[in-house]
Each structure stands twice: as structure tokens, then as C-alpha cells.
Amino acid sequence: MLKLEHIRKAFRSGRDIVLALAGIDLALDRGDFITVIGSNGAGKTTLLNIIAGTVLPTVGRVIVKDRDVTTLPAYRRAQWIGRITQDPLAGTAPMMTIAENLALASKRAHRSLRLAITRRTRREMVEQMLSLGMDLEHRLDDPVSLLSGGERQALTVTMATLARPEIMLLDEHTAALDPANATKVSLLTQEFVERMGVTTIMVTHNMEHALALGNRLLMMNKGEVVYDFSEEEKKSLRVIDLVDLFSKQHIVDDELLLETS
Amino acid sequence: MALILIHATEQGLLYGIAALGVFITYRILNFPDLTVDGSFVTGAAIASSLLVTYGFDPFLVLLIAFAAGALAGVVTGLLNTRLGITDLLAGVLSMIMLYSINLRIMGRPNISLLRTDTVIRIVKRGFQPLGNVSVLVFVAIVTLAVMLILVLFFKTEVGLVLRATGDNERMVIAQGVNTKRMKVAGLALSNGLVALSGALVAQYSGFADVGMGVGTIVTGLAAVIIGGSLVHSREVVWMATSILIGSLLYRTAVMFALRYGYVIGFQASDLKLVTSLIVIIALFIPAFRERMAKRVKTC
Ligand SMILES: Nc1ncnc2c1ncn2[C@@H]1O[C@H](COP(=O)(O)OP(=O)(O)OP(=O)(O)O)[C@@H](O)[C@H]1O
Ligand SMILES: [Mg+2]
């Protein structure tokens, strides 16, 4: 379904060069659900950017459904790839209404000069908002800028499901929400990717989520995948094991720092 | 007095079409587009030279003017999206190029339409019993039709995407849309309307002048801002209506200033200065309010 071959990405920052990804090889089958953990700056977001096409790799190839999409612009990859980021502002158009945002998301190919919202689609929208249980069904004509972060993120998830992507990229998409909303949004996402069998990569800083969800777990550090646990290995892991592994990484880093300084 | 108001209304509506064009770029696409100072003249230039030199149909030249303006918008759009030139500079470059092109089209700095048939003359002839009001009715119908089509367009699937492009471009890309193409399309639509307005104004006032477009962006903004301060709505229908109202009020104020302004020493040549000052103040008000609000909070 999705394959990354020898992906490297270097950023120039001032006179230095930052190696955000130092050689990633990864293959996902249809329906795989990978969780990704790693410290800040490990390269997780960059990895998702490269898959989505908003960042081009310095070296390497991205293959989606046996097709080399390395240089395909992001908007063309959007036909297969959906994405939700940490930022509740990123996934919706704030000045437009809930209904208009939903209408935007439910139509991906061949937009025409037909009316975007009809009586029939409005009824569907009411259903969709009812299933969220956030009282948004009465607010279809409110601009999205009036919604709270949690409401917006729930709307973003709904919009992602309407587009029926085959690959879903989730980047700490509940990190900015309060615990209740975070649980709600993460359940919503989980239900959707499982029901539709969407191939998913989920970045999270929540170790419990990382262990509880999905059939594979990656730990990244300094632009590399340092651990790759299969479904069976994952079952025997506990949060404390992951924390251990984390701190081991840091000790190694600190030693390296001492050596070089 | 009544005549002044009729004329102000007619002009307000005709220039209102240009203001709707400015609204598309400035408010919807979030792209401050200076091309309009050139494309307004392009519309007038094409219309008048086709009428005078080639004897084209006055209604047909309106469509041709729209197409020519749209082409100018496409050029600005490509400069910005393909060559990566910033929005302001892309507009300035197009505007300057259009100055030369407009002179080429006209062959001289101004063209008089006094001896040719225009849409205005046709209407006056066709609806003689209506007398003075016939032109007003015609102008109102044309402008409202343009507004209606525009409002409907912004409710279509494509129109929705265009609006979202100015609102959150990254999100629109993630929806599988080539936003570069949307921007070019929006600029084309905007400048097409501006050129249409130019062609109508030329036929209305009986001449085209290569300098008649100077400040189109500012008067357009004045209408957008005046209208926006009267009508607070995010619905496209009301936003578009408010712009036409803004344009009417602006033209009425201009008419009175020109008529009676001499009392306080006002001259026609001061108009652009005063308009710009109005826009500056209007743009400053929201920032000023915010600053005051912050000061109150920190107290
Ligand atoms: N556009 C950019 N220009 C320069 N450096 C960048 C850019 N984007 C990312 N980087 C650098 O690449 C490295 C990886 O960043 P990335 O955002 O992928 O980390 P992350 O794993 O998502 O971290 P976090 O957990 O904080 O979100 C960081 O050192 C970052 O500073
Ligand atoms: Mg990140």
C-alpha cells in the first residue's frame, strides 16, 4: 500500500544542515495501523510531510499503491491520503460555515458548477453532526472560527471520513485537546479507520495509546527508526518498557554529547 | 438635486462591479491585487477602440472587455503562482505592462465615444418613455445580474473551493485541489469584472482615457470597507450587497464633494488624496480598536 525507500531529508538552517531523516525504509500493507513514538525533533512530522507530499525528500522514493509518487504534488496525493495534525486550525476553513466545510470535504474529484449544498446533503450533515454528540447539528451555519478546538478537531475527523482516504496520517491529533475531548476524538478516529480498514500511521506522545492501538509500533530517534515492534512483541510491552527504551536513547545521546564536547 | 442622486447611483452601480472584483481578490482570495488599476482601463480601451475603429456591437464589446480583463488576471496569477513573485509585485508588474498595452490598444491617450453608438444610447432610444430613469434601470439590472451570478457562483462546488483557498490554503490542498489554479481563476474572474466595469464606465461617460484607472484599487477598497462597516455578515449575498451600497455611498459623497466642496476649497484633483485617507483611516480602525482592547485588559 505504502512504501518508503531510503528516505533521507536534510534541512538547511542558517549555515548548519539538519538531518531530519537519516534513511528510513518502511512498508505498510493495506489495513496496517502503525503507531509512532519518539522524542521531540525525532523526525516524525517530517516523515508524515514526506508521505503527504508537502515536503520533498532529499534522497529516496515514496511509493503508494505500487506507483512512484515521490514528486507528485500534495494536492494529487490527497486522493488517497488524508491527514489530521495537532493544530485544530489546520484542518478547517475558519471563515466558512460548518456546512460549507463539510461540503468541501465530501467532494474530492471533479468539482463542478453545481450547488455545493442541497437540501439532501444538509440532511446528511445533520446526521453526521448528530453522531458526534457535540450539539453541532444546530450550528451548521456558524462559521467554524466560533468552534472550540475540540469541536473543530472532531469536525476535521468527520471531514476526513467523508473523503474516504485509503491512507490516514495522524500527527498527535489529540494533543491540543482536553482529556475528555481527546478521548472522544481518538475514539472517533479509531472507529473510522477500523471500520473502513484504512492504512494508518499515528504519531503520538501517549505511550498507552501507542501500545493499545494498531498492529505495529515504531520508535524514532534522530531521524531513524530505532525500534520496530510487531503486533506480538507489542502485546508483551508495557508503558514502563517504552519509558526505559526512551531514557536509554537519551543516555546514549548524552554520552555522545560528552564525547564530542 | 434629484439628478445628482440619479447620476451618483448610476456611477455607484457601474463602479460597483469593479468593487465586486476588488472584493474577490482582497477579501475572498486574500490577494491584494493591483492589476485592477490597469485592467479597468483595458476594459475601457478595448471597448472604445472596437466601437470607434471597428464598429463592433456595444453589447458584444462588454463580453470582449471581460475576457481581456480575465486574461490580465491570468498573467498576474501566473507571475505569482508559477514564478513565485509576491502578490503585490505581480500586480504592480501587470499594471505597468497594461499601461503600455492599453496605449497600444487605444493608439492614443484618449478616445471619444461621442459619435458612436453605446449601450447607454441604445437603452435611451429603446426606452424613451422612461425618460431619465431608463439608464438607471438598465444599469441597476446589469449590476444586480452580475452580483446575482457571482453570489450563486460562490455557492457552487467550485465557488466554495475558491473561497476556502483564501481562507485556509493548506486545508484546500489537502482536499485535493490545485490551489495555484484556483488563485489564477479567482484573479481572472476579478479582473474580468473590473474590465467589464471599465467598459461600461467608458460607454456611460462617453470616453476612454489611459489614466482613468488610477486608484481603482483604492476606490474599490473604499466601497468594500464602507459597505463592510455597515453590514456585518459573512454571507456572500450580504457581503456583495454591502459592497454595492458602499460604492453608492462613495459615489454620492464624491458627487457632493465635487459640487459643493469648493466652499471648503476642495478641488477635483484632491479626490484621490481624500479617498486614500478614508481608506487609511478605515484600515486603521480595527487595529486601533484591538490596541485599545488590549490596553483595557492589561490595566
Ligand atoms: N522546515 C524546516 N527547516 C529546518 N529544519 C526543520 C524543518 N522542519 C523540521 N526541521 C528540523 O527537523 C527535525 C525533525 O523535525 P520534526 O518536526 O519532524 O520532529 P518531530 O519528531 O515531529 O518532533 P515533535 O515531537 O516535536 O513534533 C528537527 O530538528 C527540526 O528542527
Ligand atoms: Mg511533530
**Is residue B18 predicted with pLDDT exceeding 90?**
yes
List Cα–Cα distances, A94 to A149, A152, A182, B163, in angstroms.
Answer: 12, 9, 21, 11
List Cα–Cα distances, A259 to A206, A248, A252, B20, in angstroms.
Answer: 32, 17, 11, 66
* Per-residue confidence (pLDDT) for residue B284, from 0 to 100: 81
> Highest-confidence range of B3-7, B66-70, B258-262, by mean pLDDT?
B66-70
* Per-residue confidence (pLDDT) for residue A112, from 0 to 100: 86
- Quote the ipTM score: 0.87
The mean-pLDDT minimum among B143-147, B220-224, B269-273 falls in: B269-273
Relative to beta strand A67-68, strand A33-38 is unpaired
Relative to beta strand A216-221, strand A33-38 is parallel
In this predicted model, what pLDDT tens digit does every residue of A132-167 receive, in sequence order?
888 999 999 999 999 999 899 999 999 998 988 999
Give the Cα separation of B212 and B112 in Å (integer): 13
**Low-confidence stretches of chain A (pLDDT beneath 70):** 108-109, 251-261
Give the Cα separation of A68 and A46 in Å (integer): 19
Does residue B244 contact residue B143 with C-beta atoms inside 8 Å?
Answer: yes
Give the Cα separation of A235 and A231 in Å (integer): 6
Ligand nearest to the CA of A170: 2
Q: Using most ligand atoms within 8 A of CB, pick from A37, A40, A202 the residue to mutate for ligand 1.
A: A40
Distance in Å, CA A49 to ligand 2 centroid:
10
* Per-residue confidence (pLDDT) for residue A159, from 0 to 100: 93
- In this prediction the pTM is 0.89
Percentage, residues of chain B above pLDDT 70: 98
Compute the CA torsion angle B271, B273, B279, B283 (nearest 10 deg): -170
The stretch B45-61 carries a mean pLDDT of: 95
Does residue A69 contact residue A252 with C-beta atoms inside 8 Å?
Answer: no
Give A248 to chain B, closest Cα distance, Å: 37
> Confidence band (pLDDT; 50, 70, 90) for B128?
confident
Give the Cα separation of B143 and B16 in Å (integer): 8
- Identify the contact set of chain B against chain A, taking CB-CB distances under 8 A: 153, 155-161, 163-164, 167-168, 170-179, 234
> Confidence band (pLDDT; 50, 70, 90) for B271?
confident
Give the Cα separation of B152 and B166 in Å (integer): 18
* Per-residue confidence (pLDDT) for residue A261, from 0 to 100: 45
In this predicted model, what pLDDT tens digit does every residue of B156-165 receive, in sequence order?
999 999 999 9
Give the Cα separation of B135 and B123 in Å (integer): 7
For residue B106, give the amino acid letter.
M
For residue B87, give the amino acid letter.
D
> Confidence band (pLDDT; 50, 70, 90) for B231?
confident
